[in-house]
A and B are shown apart, each in its own frame.
Chain A
Amino acid sequence: MSELSLQLGIVVGYLVVALGVGLVAYRLTSNVAEDYYLADRSIGTLVLLFTTFATLLSAFTFFAGPNIAYAQGPEWILVMGVMDGILFAILWYLIGYKQWLVGRRQGYVTLSEMLGDRFGSTGLRGLVAAISLFWLFPYVMLQQMGAGEALAGLTGGALPYWAGAALITAFMILYVVIAGMRGVAWTDTIQGLFMLSVTWIALAWVLGAVGGPAAATDALGSTNPEFLALGSEFYTPAYIISTAVVIAFGVTMFPQINQRFFVAGSDRVLKRSFALWPVLVLLLFVPTFLLGTWAAGLGIDVPAGENVLPVLLSEYTPVWFAALVIAGALAAMMSSSDSMLLSGSSYFIRDLYRPFVDPTLSEAREAWLARGGVAIFATASFLASLSRPGTLIEVGSTAFGGFAQLTLPVLVALYWRGTTRNGILAGIAGSQLLYLAHVFVPTVPVDIAGSTVPLFARTYAGWDVALAGMTLGALLTVSVSALTSPTADEDDSRLVVSAD
């Protein structure tokens, strides 16, 4: 068997297994919206943990992350640890558990639905859904770009970029359309376990070939001694803190993550996932990022436009194993995309289409319309992905910053009954406008007191402007709420979960 057919056989074999799982899940799914989106709020610990985990990762774990470690050293492990292991776990409790309690009581399926109901405002509901879809679009697109690049790289260009992206898009649509949340959650679990295993096998394989971690680190010490010291000009404290905080807060408002907060079968499931979270983050990111770092000392040369991990693996492991890792990376990208598409479609149908276009939409028809929405959204982002704007990291971090603007107003609303509709609207709109201006307005240098300050830059003195937007959002929500009174159709008891 030729190398190419072996590689493609492994990747396609994976896709077929995932489709099989989706089909089984479909047979267990009633065609009602709550089941299609939320698997009837019946997800168990292992599945919830891995489905959230797999959707967090995308192409970052295998490609972008190790590339940064290869170029700048392994400190990203710390960023991931603070961000995903600790901050996200705390937000998982503060926002996730609260939303789960409220959702179980009131039957909410989306964040925007919850806020719209609490503040008696269809406009707010639509606004939150529209903002979420706006930042979701580039992120789905990036997964398609990543998949296209990975397949082109794997086949040495035999499968062109557009064909790889199209193939994955078609498969994603097919998959989400037939399976819904239950199917997505099940494949996420398989993919999460698969990724973890493949990563550790890869680490053992490479370390076995080079004589263990001490030998690999010695080699690194002679080529890039600065990588071993904590911190660098790239990894400044401002960079580490900004990145960790913005992404952790952004992640909680990602539709596919936020919707996970409604799906747990019981609070025991949420508790166990919460406690296991830091260890799971360690298990995945320590080996992948260390491999990227060690590659720098092993004299691995990464051609422009390629990723370090596949190059390292093809140097030290057999062809079939390298293909298996690509399949794992594709799995991560697909599960991200599947979940995003599913959540995106529920935001669109429930929070934009039904309230603003057709309020009489039936449950059964809604489930079918959601499938159409998925196909349209994925096709549109696929077409946009053909232009390949920016790098994965650039556009990805922009999207995280956009979502992070929503987090603090939502947190205030969840815990402070004095929050008013005007307050949360001001907080959400104000922070989005500040952030959007910095993303889309070109940088203007201005003179202030004799020194030149770049206005509308993405960072000020190394600090991400998204942090300023988040602070503004919280301040506006609290101060405007304090200055205004609730209207008659706001119901401050909706988000209260006093004893049953």
Chain B
Amino acid sequence: MTGRLRSLLWVVTACVLVVLSVPWFLWGDARTAAGVPIWLWWHIGWMVLASLVFSLFARTDWDRYMGVGDV
């Protein structure tokens, strides 16, 4: 994978993480599961996913964009 494509993927990933942390597609939806609105379950799952993506980024390309190291 070229460096440019890799960078583009990280930027797209970051944007998707930001945009979908609010489940806009569930706007107005009042269904609940186990006593909690399902839009909140989405958010909880999304934040855990964000944490995993962040930790992947921290382990791989963290220094790539700062001009340090030899990644």
Give me the interface of A with B, judged by CB distance under 8 Å: 74, 77-78, 81-82, 85-87, 89-90, 93, 97-98, 101, 212-218, 221, 225, 228-231, 237, 240, 267, 271-272, 274-279, 281-282, 286, 290, 496-500
Kindly report which residue of chain B lies nearest to residue A229, judged by CB atoms: B30
Kindly report which residue of chain B lies nearest to residue A271, judged by CB atoms: B58
Q: How near does chain B come to A291, taking the closest CB pair, in angstroms?
A: 13
Q: Can you give 8 A-B contacts (C-beta < 8 A)? A: A81-B21, A212-B35, A229-B37, A230-B30, A240-B22, A271-B58, A278-B54, A281-B47
Assembly CA distance A497 to B58 (angstroms): 18
Residues of chain B contacted by A97 (CB below 8 angstroms): 62, 66
Kindly report which residue of chain B lies nearest to residue A290, judged by CB atoms: B36
Contact, CB under 8 Å: B69 / A499: yes
Kindly report which residue of chain A lies nearest to residue B25, judged by CB atoms: A230
Q: Residue among A216, A278, A286 with the most chain B CB within 10 A?
A: A278
Contact, CB under 8 Å: B66 / A101: yes
Main secondary structure of the interface of A (DSSP, over half): helix
Q: Residue among A86, A229, A274, A497 with the most chain B CB within 10 A?
A: A86
Assembly CA distance A366 to B54 (angstroms): 39
Contact, CB under 8 Å: A77 / B51: no
Q: How near does chain B come to A475, taking the closest CB pair, in angstroms?
A: 21
Range, interface on chain B: 35 or more
Residue in contact with B27 in the complex, picked from A221, A230, A275, CB distance below 8 Å:
A230
Assembly CA distance A275 to B17 (angstroms): 13
Residue in contact with B68 in the complex, picked from A228, A281, A498, CB distance below 8 Å:
A498
- If A230-B23, A282-B44 touch, whether A85 touches B50 (CB-CB below 8 Å) is yes
Residue in contact with A78 in the complex, picked from B22, B48, B54, B70, CB distance below 8 Å:
B22
4 closest pairs, A vs B, by CB?
A213-B35, A275-B55, A271-B58, A229-B30
Contact, CB under 8 Å: A98 / B66: yes
Instruction: Please name 17 further chain A to chain B contacts, defined as beta carbons within 8 Å, in addition to the given A90-B18, A230-B28, sorted by A numbering.
Output: A78-B43, A86-B17, A86-B18, A86-B21, A90-B14, A93-B57, A93-B62, A101-B66, A214-B34, A215-B35, A225-B30, A228-B32, A229-B37, A230-B37, A278-B47, A278-B48, A499-B68
Contact, CB under 8 Å: B18 / A82: yes
Total contacts A to B, CB within 8 angstroms? Answer: 112
Kindly report which residue of chain A lies nearest to residue B70, judged by CB atoms: A499
Residues of chain B contacted by A272 (CB below 8 angstroms): 58
Q: How near does chain B come to A414, taking the closest CB pair, in angstroms?
A: 10
Interface residues of B in 11-31 (CB under 8 A from A): 14, 17-18, 21-24, 26-30
Contact, CB under 8 Å: A231 / B28: yes
Contact, CB under 8 Å: A82 / B21: yes
Kindly report which residue of chain A lies nearest to residue B46, judged by CB atoms: A81
Contact, CB under 8 Å: B68 / A278: no
Assembly CA distance A439 to B26 (angstroms): 35
Residues of chain A contacted by B39 (CB below 8 angstroms): 78, 230
Residues of chain A contacted by B66 (CB below 8 angstroms): 97-98, 101, 497
Kindly report which residue of chain B lies nearest to residue A214, judged by CB atoms: B35
Residue in contact with B47 in the complex, picked from A81, A217, A290, CB distance below 8 Å:
A81
Residue in contact with A277 in the complex, picked from B34, B54, B57, CB distance below 8 Å:
B54
Q: Is B67 an interface residue (CB 8 A)?
A: yes
Kindly report which residue of chain A lies nearest to residue B56, judged by CB atoms: A275
Contact, CB under 8 Å: A213 / B47: no
Q: How near does chain B come to A493, taking the closest CB pair, in angstroms?
A: 12
Assembly CA distance A78 to B44 (angstroms): 9
Assembly CA distance A93 to B39 (angstroms): 28
Assembly CA distance A242 to B63 (angstroms): 31
Contact, CB under 8 Å: A87 / B70: no
Contact, CB under 8 Å: B47 / A274: no
Q: Residue among A101, A216, A237, A279 with the most chain B CB within 10 A?
A: A279
